[in-house]
Amino acid sequence: MTSIHWQSVVDFLVLAIALYLLLRWSRQARAFRFAVGILALRVAALLARQLDLLITGWVLDAVTVIAILALLIVFQPELRRAFTRFDILGRARRREQGTSASAVSTAAFSLARASCGALIVLSRRDPIGELTTPGIVLNAQVSAEILEAIFQKQSPVHDGAAVIDGDRVARVGAVLPLTIRSQVPEHYGTRHRAGMGLAERTDALVIVVSEERAEVSLMWENQTRVMPSVGALSAALESMTGRPSRRSALSRRALRSQELKLQATAVGLAALVWSVTFLFPGRSVWVRTVPVEFTNVPPGLIVTGESTDTLQVWLRGNQFLFETVDLNTLAAHCDLRAAHEGLNAIPLGAAAVDTPFGIKVEAMTPRQIKVRLVNASQASKPD
């Protein structure tokens, strides 16, 4: 009998979680179709193998490998960002991002009116240390006055970025990575390109003040928005850094709905991969000799003889399963629940062998075992 073991359940959960993480990353990195295409190629390769289409399976496997390599090359910045999220200890040490929105917004527009360029980074969950130069450690309380002083033209660190961590100005004079995108507005200089470069690699918020156009831009992910006023920038920062608001509550509900849909998609894809792997009838048949185990022996009786203590079992499944599961633990269970004292003929069926999920018993011999049961008290008497 094929049964679902706890290992099968764990394997399914791990597959579903892995697919969920992949889909979640691909959605954020705008690579959703690419990732789903790779999954479809993999499922098609599994199906081709089930149908004994060897060359088709090889071709699909080769295309899958090429697609994965293309994914690693094309979406390298997004992959780097995804891996930095595994820095659990580093994230645990980070303070929760403070709002600091009012001070940052006031300083940004004050600098814009004074035609002073500025680059301000509000770090959130993703660590950014590996993507930026160390700069100069400041560790000062965030205030509009400090930020305005940092970006005055006579300041030695005005060309770099100020990194805000929580409610502190952690570092100043930091150099950010430039964007790798080719579609960049012509009027963007190094400061804007650096802000885009960090925003597209992490979840940090970047405020860029243009000294030529006296405008303030907010950058996050691959988006850039010119802020019309101090209030608009402050509201945007508060919403993105977690301060509760009516609009942010609505956004959270929409985000939860999207997460549920993503989780359902991951479970559905996992079920598809699972069914193609385990539920399709395999083309391979293996023969195994398995021992016989007696179960549910009636009280007071013992087994004193049996016609055989092993069975020949023909197992059907796909080659992948046969090569990955351990068949040495298989046994045939002979149920003696209805047996009586004396000689019993016990029929055996496929349900007697508890096979791994995806492998079925196609035939077995013998199909009947003769078992002799005697009273335990009589068997203990000396001859």
Whether 191 contacts 208, CB under 8 Å: yes
Segment 158-176 mean pLDDT: 89
Q: What residues are paired with 285 via a beta bridge?
A: 316
Between these two residues, 22 and 236, which has the higher pLDDT value?
Answer: 236
What mean pLDDT is reported for the chain?
80
The alpha carbons of the chain give a radius of gyration, in whole angstroms, of: 33
Boundaries of every domain in the chain: 6-74+250-278, 93-243, 284-379
Percentage of residues of the chain with pLDDT beyond 90: 25
CATH architecture of 284-379: Beta Complex (2.170)
Predicted local distance difference test score (pLDDT) of residue 89: 45
What would the two tokens of residue 249 be? 């509550």
Predicted local distance difference test score (pLDDT) of residue 243: 47
- In whole angstroms, what is the distance from residue 311 CA to residue 5 CA? 23
Segment 204-212 mean pLDDT: 90
Residue 334: which pLDDT band, with cuts at 50, 70 and 90? very high
- In whole angstroms, what is the distance from residue 97 CA to residue 118 CA? 21
Predicted local distance difference test score (pLDDT) of residue 255: 59
Range among 47-51, 337-341, 354-358 with highest mean pLDDT value: 337-341
225-233 contacts, C-beta under 8 A, 24 or more apart: 227/105, 227/108, 229/109, 230/105, 230/106, 230/108, 230/109, 231/105, 233/101, 233/104, 233/105, 233/108, 233/109, 233/207
Q: Give residue-wise pLDDT tens across range 237-246.
A: 888 876 444 4
Segment 217-228 mean pLDDT: 89
Using a 10 angstrom Cβ sphere, with 0-12 exposed, 13-18 middle and 19 or more buried, the burial of residue 129 is: middle
What would the two tokens of residue 379 be? 């068997």
Torsional class of 166: left (φ above 0), alpha (ψ -120 to 50), beta (otherwise): left
Report the 10 Å Cβ neighbour count for 298: 13
Do 284-379 and 93-243 fall under one CATH topology?
no
* Superfamily the domain 93-243 falls into: DNA integrity scanning protein, DisA, N-terminal domain (3.40.1700.10)
Segment 202-215 mean pLDDT: 88
Q: Give residue-wise pLDDT tens across range 105-162.
A: 999 999 999 989 999 999 887 778 778 888 898 888 899 999 999 999 888 888 899 9
- In whole angstroms, what is the distance from residue 14 CA to residue 7 CA? 10
- In whole angstroms, what is the distance from residue 56 CA to residue 69 CA? 20
pLDDT above 60 (res 42) = yes
Predicted local distance difference test score (pLDDT) of residue 5: 60
Q: What kind and span of H or E run contains 152? A: none
Percentage of residues of the chain with pLDDT beyond 70: 81
Strand ranges inside the chain, DSSP E: 118-122, 136-141, 161-165, 168-174, 205-210, 215-220, 223-227, 284-295, 301-306, 310-317, 332-335, 342-347, 360-365, 368-375
